[in-house]
């Protein structure tokens, strides 16, 4: 298929806009080129593929995301360390990834959009509790099952020690609103770990109100990228197992 210079210009303009912003409303004039112009859409998809990126559109938004490890835009620990200075070591990077997974597991109930987004928020203190329960459970399994850490590719001993021993409980902010954002504290590190989601406008971080609210765009990512993915489903099952443990224990007592 041959393309006109105008098609190439429009596709390039849209690509670099997406590269900077990652998400563009579907009703934006630039985004409409993707939905309405087959030539522009094909050029754009080819450009994305060459860079190890993927473009997908929903009714509300046009997304640009990284495909994976083979992408020139893939995020490594080194890249994250340069952008987020409080990820001091690789174990901080691993813990941050676990925190994101736990957060997603908490808001991805039922894998549907049947509830109001504003009702799907979670408090920092609740998230801290769930993270603690998850890591404690995984630590226990690791002690009981020699292959647990290796089988699920989770450095649980290192991560558990970082969270449970090295990080302290958070203190109230000096002005009495919110809490200390020090990455040496649990709540402060949660705030740091979720910054990639916040900076891509996937969540609303109301830390002074002690609340994290998912945006529609995050659910679009989950639906189009993660649901059905082997690694995502594997981690979600591990977290779900922890969530159901108290129920199982109670059933045995009864």
Per residue in 138-162, pLDDT (tens digit) is 999 999 988 888 888 888 999 999 9
Q: What angle do CA 30, 31, 32 make, to 5 degrees?
A: 90
Q: What is the DSSP annotation of 132-164? A: HHHHHHHHHHHHH-TTHHHHTT--HHHHHHIII
The architecture CATH gives domain 5-66: Orthogonal Bundle (1.10)
In this predicted structure, what is the pLDDT of residue 111? Answer: 46
In this predicted structure, what is the pLDDT of residue 109? Answer: 61
pLDDT digits (tens, 9 = 90+) for 211-233: 999 999 999 999 988 888 888 88
CA count, 13 A, side-chain hemisphere, 113: 9
In this predicted structure, what is the pLDDT of residue 227? Answer: 86
Percent of the chain with pLDDT over 70: 81
For the chain, which residues make up each domain, given as ranges? Answer: 5-66, 77-253
Q: Look up residue 196 and give its two tokens.
A: 């990639």
Backbone angles phi, psi at 69, to 5 degrees: -65, -30
Per-residue pLDDT for 80 more than 70? no
How high does pLDDT run on average in the chain?
84
Query: Span 28-36, mean pLDDT?
Result: 94
Sole residue written with tokens 């970082």: 162
Q: Please tell me the least confidently modeled range out of 49-53, 108-112, 195-199.
A: 108-112
In this predicted structure, what is the pLDDT of residue 81? Answer: 58
Q: How far is CA 240 from CA 61, 101, 160, 197, 247, in A?
A: 30, 11, 18, 22, 12
């Amino acid at each position: 298929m041959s393309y006109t210079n105008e098609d190439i210009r429009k596709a390039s303009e849209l690509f670099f806009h997406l590269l900077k912003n990652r998400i563009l409303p579907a009703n934006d004039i630039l985004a409409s080129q993707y939905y309405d112009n087959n030539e522009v859409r094909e050029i754009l998809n080819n450009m994305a593929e060459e860079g190890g990126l993927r473009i997908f559109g929903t009714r509300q938004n046009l997304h640009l995301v990284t495909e994976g490890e083979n992408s020139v835009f893939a995020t490594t620990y080194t890249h994250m360390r340069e952008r987020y200075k409080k990820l001091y070591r690789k174990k901080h990077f691993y813990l941050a990834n676990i925190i994101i997974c736990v957060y997603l597991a908490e808001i991805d109930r039922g894998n549907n959009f049947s509830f109001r987004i504003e009702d799907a928020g979670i408090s920092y203190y609740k998230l801290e509790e769930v993270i603690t329960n998850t890591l404690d459970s995984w630590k226990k399994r690791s002690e009981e099952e020699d292959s647990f850490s290796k089988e699920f590719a989770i450095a649980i001993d290192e991560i558990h020690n970082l969270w449970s021993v090295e990080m302290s409980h958070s203190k109230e902010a000096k002005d009495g609103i919110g809490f200390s954002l020090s990455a040496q504290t649990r709540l402060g590190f949660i705030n740091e770990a979720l910054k990639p989601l916040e900076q891509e406008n996937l969540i609303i971080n109301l830390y002074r109100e002690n609340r994290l609210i998912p945006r529609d765009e995050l659910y679009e990512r989950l639906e189009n990228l993660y649901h059905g993915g082997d690694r995502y489903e594997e981690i979600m099952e591990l977290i779900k197992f922890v969530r159901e443990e108290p129920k199982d224990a109670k059933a045995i007592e009864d």
